[in-house]
């Protein structure tokens, strides 16, 4: 498939939704039916989002003057607004984790320090390339979460609603930063090589950090020696439902010269969520 044949679906609108989630009564350690180790895997991901989303916003905003089409300009505004909402709600999520006695402040400080180094030392083009790499990760993780009911089956309704809402909006805007990259950095061999190399570096760096943070949360709860919990996590991530295993093929697609995010057309998931949201007036769990 060529770059020009992947287009955004009809009816796609990247727009701000000011949703707030009440997490005060959630058991943030045991909110997932597969147990603490699985719950803390999601919790570890949340720690990255407030600062990470700000980094994405800055990386895309820096190039908004190079965006030529009004459609993409509108999508950039929607992207910024959605990511700002994600940052706010995951900050509230992380505050709830900290209030439960978990070492979130220390871990968030590490994210902030790392991104400050990236901002200071990496060329702007590489910062945008890192953004589209991580946006691809969030999009393909969102697709697994939304298309496989086993991922959140039996989970706390409020936290399930947070993750589904975030996943839907990551799906809606999954091509925005990528389209900005194509306009600002290019579509040729050099631009492709840059994004491929940055994806490889980002993949290794991101997952090492996620699992270090996950380890820190589990250690904080004194569950490092819970072999059954580690087995349940391994089974959840790699066997059934095997969310990480399901990421490999769509991750590999990113390296194609002709790749575009909407070649993975899962807009039906957005439409289903939108229908449920409009019917109930709240984010569906």
Q: What is the pLDDT of residue 1?
A: 38
Pick the closest to residue 95 from 87, 86, 104 (CA basis). 104
Each residue's pLDDT tens digit, 267-276: 999 999 989 9
Residue 112 belongs to a domain: yes
Q: What is the pLDDT of residue 214?
A: 98
Residue 71 belongs to a domain: yes
Q: Identify the CATH number of the domain in which residue 75 sits.
A: 1.10.620
Mutual orientation of helices 157-172 and 36-61 as an angle, nearest 10°? 30
Mean pLDDT of 39-65: 97
Residue 23 belongs to a domain: no
Check pLDDT > 60 for residue 3: no
Residue 20 belongs to a domain: no
Check pLDDT > 90 for residue 24: no
Q: What average pLDDT is seen over the chain?
A: 95
pTM of the predicted protein model: 0.94
Check pLDDT > 80 for residue 285: no
Residue 70 belongs to a domain: yes
Residue 121 belongs to a domain: yes
Each residue's pLDDT tens digit, 224-254: 999 999 999 999 999 999 999 999 999 999 9
Taking a C-beta distance cutoff of 8 angstroms, is the pair 86, 166 a contact?
A: yes
Residue 87 belongs to a domain: yes
Q: What is the pLDDT of residue 128?
A: 98
Check pLDDT > 80 for residue 2: no
Residue 50 belongs to a domain: yes
Which residue range(s) make up the domain with 169? 29-280
Q: Look up residue 154 and give its two tokens.
A: 């039996």
Confidence band (pLDDT; 50, 70, 90) for 96? very high
Each residue's pLDDT tens digit, 142-193: 999 999 999 999 999 999 999 999 999 999 999 999 999 999 999 999 999 9
Mean pLDDT of 57-85: 96
Provide the number of structural domains found in the chain: 1
């Amino acid at each position: 498939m060529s770059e020009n044949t992947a287009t955004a679906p009809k009816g796609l609108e990247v727009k701000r939704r000011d949703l707030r989630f009440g997490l005060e009564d959630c058991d943030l350690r045991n909110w997932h039916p597969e147990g603490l180790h699985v719950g803390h895997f999601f919790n570890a991901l949340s720690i990255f989002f407030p600062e990470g989303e700000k980094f994405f916003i800055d990386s895309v905003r820096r190039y908004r003057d190079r965006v030529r089409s009004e459609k993409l300009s509108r999508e950039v505004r929607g992207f910024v607004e959605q990511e700002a909402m994600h940052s706010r709600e995951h900050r509230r999520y992380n505050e709830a984790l900290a209030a439960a006695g978990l070492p979130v402040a220390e871990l968030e400080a590490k994210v902030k320090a790392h991104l400050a180094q990236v901002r200071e030392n990496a060329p702007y083009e590489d910062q945008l390339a890192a953004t589209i790499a991580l946006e691809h990760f969030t999009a393909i993780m969102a697709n697994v979460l939304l298309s496989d009911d086993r991922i959140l089956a039996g989970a706390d309704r409020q936290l399930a609603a947070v993750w589904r809402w975030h996943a839907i909006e990551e799906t809606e805007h999954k091509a925005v930063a990528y389209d900005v990259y194509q306009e600002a950095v290019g579509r040729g061999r050099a631009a492709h090589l840059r994004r491929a190399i940055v994806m490889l570096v980002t993949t290794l760096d991101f997952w090492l950090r996620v699992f270090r943070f996950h380890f820190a949360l589990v250690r904080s709860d004194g569950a490092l020696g819970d072999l059954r919990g580690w087995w349940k996590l391994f089974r959840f991530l790699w066997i059934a439902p095997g969310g990480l295993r399901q990421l490999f093929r769509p991750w590999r697609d990113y390296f194609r010269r002709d790749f575009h995010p909407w070649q993975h057309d899962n807009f039906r998931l957005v439409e289903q969520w939108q229908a449920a949201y409009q019917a109930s007036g709240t984010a569906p769990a």
